[in-house]
């Protein structure tokens, strides 16, 4: 979940490239940051805290002529945030500096071995074993690249690792179950955990596969396999504009990305819907005959989208279930050649989801990745991939990717079941404009101001609105640090009502006027009878507003469209509560964007 940046160039601007790259990767971790510049000697600087702490302490004028280096921004796993635990880590002779993303599962045994050999460790991290391992091989007279490879060969677990050495202008890197992408520039080569780190410098990339190594110098980049054989690589072009990864005048990335949802959804739907023919065409996912169950695996926000997708399929007569990827156990969950397993992951690198998808592949199931990132691990390892086309999302709290996942999964359900109606296609077509109406007219800010001091927040919904209730609660937790819970509306009376007070606002998602809506209104009355304030999120087709203290409108949306539109109102409420409370909205405490550890 940490962020890595590396640069080997012909220009003497490595320090600026590294700092720009770290700025573009802060959503991956912001507990500490550091850089290592390599030439005749190694220069390492690192600081606890956000990137600004490193920038303030860095004597940039001393490194104006440096052209090769690596950098790192950390999300803590082993050891608390501190200067000493920050990356890069070096050996005891300052010959090699290493940055690492992932978890080294056998680090304790390696550390014990190295300690017994007389090596003293400075940090609490698992990463520090790597430079010390490399150093032991260097001491035996082994060349740098071979020493790096032998050290990597000793590591168990997940990793993206990059290393620089004194006396050379070369970066060595390797990956296993953790992302690493190379950038091909006109004046040098780049290495990063994610494209935003170098998108302002180049849009041409090479994605490293598991088990591959890379060697970068100012004059070339070479990719090899575990045996050292050169691998043929393909260069892909990223379609993002560098401005897409900026704030564009908004106070926070999250607010920008909430407002980008209409455009993101248009991109998701473009070329895939045919209203005249009444068809859905997902070019990368051919018709699949699912004779067995369809299983969704996902985490966090993506899990809520997966719940929505599974419900769509069940309503079309298909056996479908959503699993938390961390709880997906192929030994107890039936999966085989008749199964279809759909991995929903915005980054395409989520460790728990990738583990579940690999288990499904081993069992012979057909696998589909629903992801936002071209060339990601999920996209490469699954049989088929459905891109949601949301564009870069920098805010840690997912917003536009959730809406795009909902739309993509709706189309996928239509194609998998061949159950497509013109009403569904039209409803999807209308969603971007309906969300724009919400963005233009929402009174979420006033609602947030009313309830910013609440003890807790409850969100309730039924059917398609239940996953949205869970997502609304998750957003509130993530960025306000306030207690929030989402419930299936019918479950309130089975325990959660004990927690309801006059200072516990309940957000009730009620759309349509069917039996489900009427039952949810009954749950609202239960809340009202206990003096809890009610915020109705509704399209006005029921009478729920009669029992509400506030109303957040869901304009003109029906059926499968209403959960996508309703969610935007909840995103805005969470954003404005967090804003009023002065929270770190884009970088909430203890969280990171791309969760690449289990």
Of the candidates 480, 505, 373, the residue with the CA atom closest to the CA atom of residue 353: 373
| Catalytic site includes residue 2 | yes
Q: Which residues of 360-387 are buried (b: 16+ CB within 10 A; e: fewer)?
A: beebebbbbbbbbbbbbbbbebbbbbbb
Instruction: At 43, give phi and psi (nearest 5°).
Output: -120, 115
- Asked if residue 501 lies in contact with residue 532, where contact means CB atoms within 8 angstroms, the answer is yes
Specify the higher pLDDT residue, 76 or 454: 454
Which pLDDT belongs to residue 239?
Answer: 77
- Cα–Cα distance for residue pair 312/472, rounded to 1 Å: 20
Provide the β-strand partners of residue 319.
none
Query: Tokens standing for 351?
Result: 């460790």
Structure tokens at 379: 């996209």
Contact 350, 325 (CB under 8 A): yes
Break the chain into its structural domains and give their ranges. 3-244, 247-431
* pLDDT reported for residue 371: 96
Tell me, yes or no, if 519 is annotated catalytic: no
Lowest mean pLDDT among 93-107, 265-279, 310-324: 265-279
DSSP symbols for 241-281: -GGGGS-TT-SSHHHHHHHTHHHHHHHHHTTTEETTTTEE-
Beta bridge mates, 492: none
Return the DSSP state at 230: B
Q: Is the pLDDT of residue 557 over 90?
A: no
* Helix (H) or strand (E) run with residue 466 in it: helix 465-480
Q: Give start and end residues of each alpha helix (H) in 486-561.
A: 515-528
Least confident of 167-171, 221-225, 428-432, 588-592: 588-592
Average pLDDT over residues 228-245: 82
Closest CA to 533 of 429, 457, 438: 457
| Percent of the chain with pLDDT strictly greater than 70 | 97
Confidence of residue 416 (pLDDT cuts 50, 70, 90): confident
Nearest CA among 56, 94, 103 for reference residue 75? 103
Comparing 112-126, 230-244, 403-417, which segment has the lowest mean pLDDT? Answer: 230-244
Residue 143's pLDDT is what? 95
Q: Give the range among 60-69, 147-156, 275-284, 308-317 with minimum mean pLDDT.
A: 275-284
State how far the Cα of 4 lies from the Cα of 190, in Å rounded to an integer.
10
Check pLDDT > 80 for residue 291.
Answer: no
Q: Which residues contact 22 (CB under 8 A, 6 or more apart)?
A: 3, 5, 33, 35, 51, 54, 71, 72, 73, 197
Catalytic entry in 2, 299, 382, 414: 2
Measured distance CA(326)–CA(356) in Å, rounded: 8
- For residue 258, pLDDT over 90 is answered with yes
What is the rounded (10 degree) CA torsion for 388, 554, 578, 373? 0
**pLDDT of residue 247 exceeding 90:** no
Six token digits for residue 230 = 């050169």
**CATH for 3-244, options being 3.60.20.10, 3.40.190.290, 3.30.70.20, 2.40.50.100:** 3.60.20.10
CATH topology identical between 3-244 and 247-431: no
In whole angstroms, give the CA distance from residue 130 to residue 4: 16
CATH code for the domain defined by 247-431: 3.40.50.10490
Quote the DSSP letter at residue 124: S
Of 46, 477, 482, 593, the catalytic one is 593
Mapped onto helix, strand or coil, the DSSP state of residue 444 is: helix
Nearest by Cα to 405 from 428, 427, 422, 389: 389
Give the mean pLDDT of 293-300: 94
- Looking at the chain, the whole-number percentage of residues with pLDDT higher than 90 is 63
* Other CB atoms within 10 Å distance of the CB of residue 286: 9
pLDDT digits (tens, 9 = 90+) for 450-461: 999 999 999 999
Give residue-wise pLDDT tens across range 96-118: 999 998 889 999 999 999 999 99
What span, in angstroms and rounded, lies between the C-alpha atoms of 7 and 186? 12
pLDDT band at 269 (very low <50, low <70, confident <90, very high): very high
Q: Is the pLDDT of residue 289 over 80?
A: no
Among 172, 186, 182, 226, CA closest to 207: 182
Whole-angstrom distance, CA of residue 353 vs CA of residue 358 = 9
Distance CA 568, CA 347 (A): 21
| pLDDT (average), residues 354-379 | 92
269 compared with 376, residue with greater pLDDT: 269
Q: Give the bridge partners for 222, in sequence order.
A: 215
- pTM of the prediction? 0.82
Does residue 366 contact residue 383 with C-beta atoms inside 8 Å? yes
The set of residues, in sequence order, having a beta carbon less than 8 Å from that of 28 and lying 6+ positions away, is: 1, 2, 3, 73, 75, 101, 193, 194, 592, 593, 594
At residue 79 the predicted structure's pLDDT band, cuts being 50, 70 and 90, is: confident
What is the C-alpha separation between 221 and 216, in angstroms, rounded? 5
Bridge partner residues of 90 (DSSP):
97
């Amino acid at each position: 979940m940490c962020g890595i940046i590396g640069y080997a160039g012909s220009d003497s601007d490595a320090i600026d490239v590294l700092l720009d790259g770290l700025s573009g990767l802060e959503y991956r971790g912001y507990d500490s940051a550091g850089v290592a510049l390599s030439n005749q000697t190694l220069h390492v600087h690192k600081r606890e805290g956000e990137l600004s702490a490193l920038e303030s302490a860095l004597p940039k004028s001393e490194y104006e002529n440096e052209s090769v280096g690596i950098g790192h921004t950390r999300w803590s796993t082993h050891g608390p945030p501190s200067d000493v635990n920050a990356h890069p880590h070096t050996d005891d002779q300052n010959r090699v500096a290493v940055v690492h993303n992932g978890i080294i599962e056998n680090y304790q045994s390696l550390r014990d071995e190295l300690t017994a050999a007389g090596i003293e460790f400075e940090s609490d991290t698992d990463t520090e074993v790597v430079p010390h391992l490399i150093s032991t091989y260097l001491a035996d007279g082994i060349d740098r690249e071979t020493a790096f490879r032998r050290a990597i060969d000793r590591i168990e677990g997940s990793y993206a690792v990059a290393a620089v050495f004194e006396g050379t202008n070369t970066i060595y890197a390797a990956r296993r179950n953790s992302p690493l992408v190379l950038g091909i520039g006109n004046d040098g080569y780049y290495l990063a955990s994610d494209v935003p780190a170098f998108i302002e410098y180049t849009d041409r990339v090479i994605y490293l596969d598991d088990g591959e190594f890379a060697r970068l110098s100012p004059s070339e980049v070479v990719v090899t396999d575990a045996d050292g054989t050169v691998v043929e690589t393909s260069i892909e072009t990223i379609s993002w504009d560098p401005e897409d990864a900026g704030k564009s005048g908004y106070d926070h990335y999250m607010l920008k990305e909430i407002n980008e949802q209409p455009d993101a959804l248009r991109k998701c739907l473009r070329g895939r819907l045919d209203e005249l023919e009444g068809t859905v065409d997902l070019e990368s996912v051919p018709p699949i005959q699912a004779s067995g169950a369809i299983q969704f695996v996902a985490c966090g926000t993506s899990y809520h989208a997966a719940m929505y997708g599974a419900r769509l399929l069940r309503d079309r007569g298909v056996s479908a279930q959503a699993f938390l990827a961390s709880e997906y156990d192929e030994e107890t969950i039936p999966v085989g050649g008749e199964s279809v397993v759909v991995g929903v992951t915005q980054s395409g690198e989520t460790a728990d989801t990738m583990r579940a998808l690999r288990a499904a592949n081993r069992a012979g199931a057909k696998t589909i990745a629903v992801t936002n990132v071209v060339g990601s691990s999920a996209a490469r390892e699954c049989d088929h991939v459905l891109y949601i086309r949301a564009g870069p999302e920098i805010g840690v709290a997912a917003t536009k990717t959730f809406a795009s996942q909902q739309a993509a999964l709706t189309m996928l359900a239509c194609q998998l079941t061949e159950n497509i109606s013109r009403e569904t296609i039209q409803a999807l077509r209308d969603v971007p404009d309906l969300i724009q109406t919400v963005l233009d007219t929402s009174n979420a800010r006033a609602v947030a101001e009313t309830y910013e001091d609440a003890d807790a927040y409850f969100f309730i919904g039924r059917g398609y609105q239940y996953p949205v209730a869970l997502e609304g609660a998750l957003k509130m937790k993530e960025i306000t640090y306030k207690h929030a819970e989402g419930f299936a509306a019918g479950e309130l009376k089975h325990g959660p009502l004990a927690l309801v007070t006059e200072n516990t606002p309940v957000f009730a998602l009620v759309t349509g006027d069917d039996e489900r809506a009427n039952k949810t209104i009954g749950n609202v009355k239960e809340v009202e009878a206990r003096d809890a304030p009610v915020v109705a999120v509704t399209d006005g087709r029921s009478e729920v507003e009669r029992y509400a203290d506030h109303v957040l409108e869901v304009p003109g949306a029906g059926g499968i469209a209403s959960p996508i539109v309703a969610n935007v109102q909840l995103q805005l409420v969470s954003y404005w509560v967090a804003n009023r409370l002065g929270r770190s909205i884009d970088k909430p405490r203890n969280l990171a964007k791309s969760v690449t550890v289990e």
